[in-house]
Amino acid sequence: MTSILVARDAPPLLLHTLRLADTALVLGHRLSEWTGQAPMLEEELALANVALDLIGQARSLYAYAAELEGKGRTEDDLAYLRDAPEYRNLLIAEQPNGDFARTVLRQLLVSAFMLPYWHALTASRDETLAAVAAKAEKEVAYHLRHAGEWVIRLGDGTDESRSRMEDALDELWPFTGEMFETDESDRALIAGGFAPDPAALRPEWDATVARVFAEATLPVPQAGTWMQSGGRRGVHGEHLGHMLATMQHLPRAYPGAAW
């Protein structure tokens, strides 16, 4: 099945919608990889539920992106027929699950950003994005609380759980800077009242992370750590390609398959 190009040269609103959709789908798919492998039944259900929320958010956003693009494509086309360089998700979303510590820390770091982001986006001049944001904001509040409770339990837990949480922090922290980046396309939307300025959400993110880390007795890494960047421009690490190969295999091998 031929790949399609949508994000390249996309106008700001379409690009913004795709970036949000891609981050939600990629993170949701990552969480779904835990299905059948979670450490206990309650977490099996929790991870699947969070994945379901994220994939649901992605569906609404892809449907809107397809409408904005106006070429008659569907949400499935956008999810299944774009290659890795077309994906515009945050790099943190595509990082492998690693162990349970890394998965819940990744969820905390992203959710602590998405909660104020969705809240601010409810005031967007774009009615559809505002509506998606109003739903997503409520959902992510539960994701944040759940992830925060686990980070505290593992950080302030046994020697083993703490050492795993410290490793996870080393691994993931360099991917947090990208959440607050803006480019020319973003700035056009921010100026027009269509999207919030992520830099303005930094204090709330810092405060949430500091509060959870304090309870978890984890150190907040020093400012000035070198940060990874690129996902929002389509520059990804090797992991995303492998994930998409799994996720897209069936609809590409059997176009139009339904059951």
Partner 1 sequence: MTAAAARLVGLGGHRLRLRALEVAGEVADPEIPVLSIADLGVLRDARLRDDGGVEVDITPTYSGCPAMNMIAVQVEAALLEAGLPAPRVRLVLSPAWTTDWMTDAGREKLRAYGIAPPAPRASRRALFGMDEELACPRCGGTDTEKLSEFGSTACKSLWRCTACREPFDHFKCL
Q: Would you say 124 and 195 are in contact if contact means Cβ atoms under 8 Å apart?
A: yes
135 touching partner 1, by CB under 8 A: yes
Q: Which two tokens stand for residue 68?
A: 């904005």
Q: Which two tokens stand for residue 101?
A: 């510590």
Amino acid found at 40: M
32 touching partner 1, by CB under 8 A: no
Subset of 182-221 contacting partner 1 (CB under 8 A): 208, 211-212
Subset of 142-171 contacting partner 1 (CB under 8 A): 142, 144-146, 148-149
Q: Which of 1, 5, 134, 235 binds partner 1 (CB under 8 A)?
A: 134
Subset of 45-104 contacting partner 1 (CB under 8 A): 45-46, 48-50, 52-57, 59-60
Give per-residue burial for 83-107: e unless 16+ CB within 10 Å, then b: ebbbbbbbbbbbbeeeebbbbbbbb
Please give the Cα distance from 77 to 62 (Å, whole number).
9
In terms of phi and psi (left: phi > 0; alpha: psi -120 to 50; beta: otherwise), the region of 87 is beta
Q: Which stretch binds partner 1 (CB under 8 A): 66-74, 92-100, 132-140, 181-189?
A: 132-140
128 touching partner 1, by CB under 8 A: yes
Quick one: 84 or 109, whose CB is closer to partner 1? 109
Q: Shortest CA distance to 89 belongs to which of 131, 126, 54?
A: 54
Q: Give residues in contact with partner 1 (CB under 8 A).
A: 42-43, 45-46, 48-50, 52-57, 59-60, 115, 119, 127-128, 130-132, 134-139, 141-142, 144-146, 148-149, 208, 211-212
